[in-house]
Structure 1
Amino acid sequence: MSVHSCQGPLHYVSQQSQVEALAQNIEPGISVALDTEADSLHHYYEKVCLIQLSFGSHHYIVDPLAKVRVEPLLEKLAQCTLVIHGADYDLRMLRRQWGFEAHQLFDTMCAAQLLGYEELGLASLVKRCCGVTLCKSGQRADWSRRPLSPKLIEYATNDSRYLLCVAERLEHELRIRGRVEWHREMCQRILENVKCHNTARSEARQWRVKGWHTLKSSRAHAILRELWQWREREAQHADLPPFRILGNEVLVRLAAWTEATSAGDSLPDFIPPHLASSARRLESLRRAVEHARALPPEKWPRPSHVNCKQAPKPSKSLCEELKACRDEIAAKYDVPPQLITPSTALLEIAAARPHTCEELKAVSKLCNWQVELIGEPFLRIIRAHEHASDVSPASSNLFD
């Protein structure tokens, strides 16, 4: 597909008759470039605000907020090969909102990773494959607002406009380097993960925000949980993403401050101005802080590691040898080491010490191509450790 063919006409689809006509134009089995725009940076209850499609030298912006039913369109798209850049988020959003399930996928970000590209963003790939420089000015836009400016419509269109051209170039390179099957397996894994993803928010896990482990006591964890719950209520009430109420770093600092201070103390001066300017919200935070301070021990959360006491601890030397082997294989194939074997899988392999490639795959949940690359070298290292006496536990930051 030439860059010239990417310059075809744009159609803004905001009426039901237009949705039906677009669905009729999609032939089963064709490749369709797809992207979505959501409003997660601006609203608590995030939703898909636009669906961008490109195929047959035409480009379409479908507006679900125009009160149209997109199900007929999604039914046809389920019969196509979808070309998406970083497909996981788009597919999760489409599945959560409409129950959509894709069956064939070509993920351009995944392809770029397998080819050893250092710059994986869509703009970088379009520049490399098509020689076109994309504008990035719409990345933080509120896509739920209407009407959309011509500039935002252009930005949204460009997210799918060049994808088929990029995919064609990447697929050619994958074929030359013998990695088409690697890519197919990884795309299938993405589809499976999306299908199995549980969209329910688990409060027992959600309150453990980044940095929570710096709080050492169960009481501090209880305070953090209460403050997290306060932030969730405020975010829902205002229909804002939680970080717009209070960032995670401040939330953790506030939990530590609350534990270290006494009832009646004024709120700390690191409370951000936008929160301090709202008398109602500030008063509700004060009440949440006092309630958190007063929680009795029986209301404190249990330590997060209670269910992991029996987890086997891998040998430190074995972990280091597997990591070195993994890194050597990654350098040979010019791909990121984490793509060959993620650190979590490496630790699981070291702990389980599988004896066959089948056992290794079951333990690590890696793709076939990954097991083919690391299988025999890893098994040789594990066999050499079977009679070793070094069983010192791996440090938690071994792969940092």
Structure 2
Amino acid sequence: MNRKPGRDAPASADPPDWDLIHTQREFEDLLEEWSGVERYALDTEFHRERTYHPRVALVQVAWPGRLALIDPLEVDLTPLADVLAGDGCAVMHAARQDLEILNRECGLVPKVLFDTQVAANFVGFSNPSLGTLSERLTGTKVPKGDRLTDWLRRPLKPTQLSYAAADVRNLLDIADRLIEDLDRRGRSSWAADAIEDERSDAWTTRDPAVAWTRIKEVRHLKGQALASAQALARWREETASIEDVPTRNLLSDLGLVGLAQTRPDTVKAARAVRGVDGRNLRGPRAEEALAVIAESIGQPPEDAASVRSPEVPGELRSAIGLVTTWVKQLARDLDLDPSTVATRADVEQLLAPGPDGRLGGGWRAELVGDPIRDLVAGRAALAFDRGTGLVLEPRREAV
């Protein structure tokens, strides 16, 4: 490939160290080179404020001696799937939303992944930014971007391109230092498990059937109002996905609950409900919403218990706060991010009937899950030590 600065490269005595990929031919040449790389840094810039699905605006990739910025507004990213499916390791930072984008654009996510933010949570950081890791581990400052930057506007400014390039320029160096620290602490497998969980979760799509569970106000509804709210929430989610608009642009949560409670049968009555924006709920959309409400009348609501986590038995509820405090203290003592080890919800799931969740297997079970089981079974006890705080220790048999 003839490597030269892209046409939006900043004019400078020192040419940029990146190429701007504008054409499909340039992209295909890059992919040919990329396919033989064992490890590469990968990032995306995107927008989702005005859409349901995130819209990719730039893809950045780097490996030793190579840094490229790919313009997805001019390039079809579909062929990238072959590289992602290969054995090369994609090194990313806080990859969750990037994985969602790759899955949507290419139909899959990287087969092999290393997330520097997830890995850092096992060596003394707590969901650090890329800038924090770069400065702490490599001594290099990453320029702060403007959160209001419009990445979809063309041409991209030189400052935008420089910022985007900085996101991947030293990501492999950061990964090397994290891997070294993980190996030294014996936590490489822990981080690998957590990263694989993130990678697997990227295949999960939002289920419209349970969209109502994410609406706080719906939890208090019962009977017919609940059934109508569930139907409206499903319709709103499906319609927003098809039209690629934010759900709020169709119907606000407040408006949805209001319609479910009043169940109007005319567009005029529906638009008079509090929280309903007549600019959004009009024409075919309004008629569809009314039809959904009409069809829901007389239908039983979905049992809320079917999507609600089992409750912790009464005799164990008083232990939740104490156990959660012990988990946080243990995590900090071990230089681990507390939320990576276990959240209060994880503790509740372990103590409740049914599946044990994250604490039921793997390194989390060994570290906190099994000790908590011993505690509730009476084989261990929590004690307070003036020097170390809460201590979970085996219970001594009475003599």
Range of TM-score over shorter length: 0.7 to 0.9
1:86 positional shift: 1.4
Which has the higher mean CA deviation after the structures are superposed, 203-212 or 72-81? 72-81
Q: Which residue, 234, 241, 245 being the options, matches 1:240?
A: 245
Match of 1:112 in 2: 120
Task: Write out per-residue CA displacement over residues 107-141 of structure 1, whole angstroms, 9 at most, x where no aligned residue.
Answer: 11112222232462223333433331422215663
The answer to whether residue 304 in structure 2 is matched with residue 298 in structure 1 is: no
State the AA in 1 paired with 2:144.
C
| Number of residue pairs the alignment of both structures matches | 364
1:34 positional shift: 0.5
1:163 positional shift: 1.7
Match of 2:258 in 1: 254
Match of 1:198 in 2: 204
| Unmatched runs of 5 consecutive residues or more in structure 2 | 1-14, 381-399
Higher relative contact order (CA 8 A, sep 6+): 1
Q: What is the distance in 2 between the residues matched to 1:147 and 1:243?
A: 30
The answer to whether residue 320 in structure 2 is matched with residue 343 in structure 1 is: no
Q: Which residue, 348, 352, 362 being the options, matches 1:368?
A: 362
The question of whether the paired residues in 2 share the 8 Å contact of 1:41 and 1:140 is answered with no
1:115-264 matches, cutoff 5 A:
115-118=123-126, 120-129=128-137, 130-138=139-147, 141=150, 143=152, 145-194=153-202, 197-199=203-205, 201-225=206-230, 227-228=232-233, 231-232=236-237, 235=240, 239-248=244-253, 250-251=254-255, 254-255=258-259, 258=262
State the AA in 1 paired with 2:304.
S
State the AA in 2 paired with 1:381.
L
Match of 1:397 in 2: none
SS at match of 1:42: coil
Q: Structure 1 pair 78/218, CA: closer, same or farther in 2 (3 Å)?
A: farther
Q: What is the distance in 2 between the residues matched to 1:43 and 1:171?
A: 37
| Unmatched runs of 5 consecutive residues or more in structure 1 | 1-6, 354-359, 387-400
Task: Write out per-residue CA displacement over residues 161-187 of structure 1, whole angstroms, 9 at most, x where no aligned residue.
Answer: 232232233334334444333222222
1:267 positional shift: 4.6
Q: Normalised by the size of structure 2, how large is the TM-score? A: 0.74
Q: Normalised by the size of structure 1, how large is the TM-score? A: 0.73
Q: Which residue, 75, 97, 101 being the options, matches 1:89?
A: 97
SS at match of 2:121: helix
SS at match of 1:105: strand
Which has the higher mean CA deviation after the structures are superposed, 207-216 or 329-338? 207-216
Q: What is the distance in 2 between the residues matched to 1:67 and 1:15?
A: 6
SS at match of 1:64: coil
The answer to whether residue 328 in structure 2 is matched with residue 319 in structure 1 is: no
After superposition, the CA RMSD in angstroms is 4.0
SS at match of 1:32: strand
Match of 1:64 in 2: 72
More helix by share: 1
State the AA in 2 paired with 1:117.
F
Residue identity over aligned pairs, in percent, reads 22
Q: Structure 1 pair 243/262, CA: closer, same or farther in 2 (3 Å)?
A: closer
The question of whether the paired residues in 2 share the 8 Å contact of 1:218 and 1:303 is answered with no
Q: What is the distance in 2 between the residues matched to 1:177 and 1:149?
A: 43
Q: Structure 1 pair 284/367, CA: closer, same or farther in 2 (3 Å)?
A: same
SS at match of 1:48: strand
The answer to whether residue 86 in structure 2 is matched with residue 78 in structure 1 is: yes
